[in-house]
Structure 1
Amino acid sequence: MDGREIRNCMGRFATGVTIVTCDTEEGTHGLTANSFTSVSLDPPLVLVSVDKKTKALKRLKKNCFTVNILREEQQDVAMHFAGRPLAVPPFDWEEGTLCNRLKDTLAYIECEPWAEYDGGDHILYVGKVQDFKYNEGNPLGYYCGKFSAVVTKSV
């Protein structure tokens, strides 16, 4: 199968955009991820899928992490952590319960490591939720390889 065509097909599934952050002895690190999902409510578990070629992979291994869900106006933050850092970072850090997180996101979910699985060319990190908070606003979306608005309507 053609990997590019598989990617194009999977890109038809619209997702939100997150920054996964963790602390190490070298400081706080983050990576942009749209492969994120809730797994369980009891116990509360989430999953993040990380490419094995990503520098941040070893930093997440057996480490607490925070999933920061981005607002629609935080595209520059997503690009910063996707390997296109800006000279002046477009975000501020704030101290979390388990590790530093991004300030002013739509939501954050702080996790302790729960399990780790081989997922082909990715590693699947499952975290047990220890703390979370969400705010009002619109999420940053990702569709067909591009950032996208997510239209929210009142019912």
Structure 2
Amino acid sequence: MDFKLLRQAFGKFPTGVTVVTWFDDVGINGITVNSFTSVSLEPPLALISIDKKANSYEQLQNKPFTINVLADDQEAIAWQFAGRPQEELDISWNKEGDSPSIAGASGYFKCKHWKQYDAGDHVLFVGEITEFDRRSGDSLTFFEGKMGSTEMYKSQEVQ
């Protein structure tokens, strides 16, 4: 199987962009994730998928975490946590609770570890949502390797 073509095929599915954050021994850590989905309302569960080769895989073991749904003006934050340092980026944090959240995000879901599952070269982390919030505005999206905004998906009013 041609894995490069497979990745491109997956890229045809537009996704939201999240940064998963947690506290570590030094302070705040995080990783950009677009493999995120709701799982259940009762109990409230959300899922993220992390590559086993990522440092975050080991660091997230049994830790509370926050899934930050980035706003469309937070692309630099997405690149920062995807391993592309953004010079002079200043991130405002909410450090209350068991895991940090990014100020100005479209929404966030604070989670405590619920279960995790082996999934090939990734691990699926399922978190039980303990707190969440959302705000109005457009969210950041990822499509065919490019960042964008949910604004482009809005249609005009049907007459």
**Whole-Å Cα distance in 2 between the matches of residues 12 and 73 of structure 1?**
22
Q: For the residues of structure 2 that align with 1:138 and 1:101, how far apart are their CA atoms? A: 18
Any gaps of 5 or more consecutive residues in structure 2? none
Q: 1:130, 1:153 → 2: CA distance?
A: 34
1:28 Cα shift? 0.9
Alignment of 1:133 with 2:130, yes or no, is no
How large is the RMSD of aligned CA atoms in angstroms? 1.3
2:66 is paired with a residue whose SS is strand
Q: Report % sequence identity.
A: 38
Which digits, 9 at most, give the CA deviation of each residue in 1:103-139, with x for residues without a partner?
Answer: 1111010000000111111110000000000000001
Q: How does 1:2-81 map to 2 (within 5 A)?
A: 2-81=2-81
* Whole-angstrom CA distance in 2 between matches of 1:44 and 1:58: 24
Rounded to whole Å, the distance in 1 between the matches of 2:37 and 2:63 is: 18
Q: CA deviation at 1:149?
A: 2.3
TM-score, structure 1 normalization = 0.95
| TM-superposed deviation, 1:91 | 1.4
Deviation per CA, 1:41-79, whole angstroms, max 9, x where unpaired? 000000000111111111111000000000111111100
Q: What displacement does 1:96 show?
A: 3.0
Runs of 4+ that moved beyond 4 A: none
How far is 1:153 from its partner?
A: 4.8
Q: Which amino acid aligns with 1:74?
A: Q
Task: Kindly report which structure 2 residues correspond to 1:108-123, keeping only aligned pairs within 5 A, or say none.
Answer: 108-123=108-123
Bigger shift: residues 15-24 or 82-91: 82-91
How far apart in 2 are the matches of 1:95 and 1:13?
Answer: 33
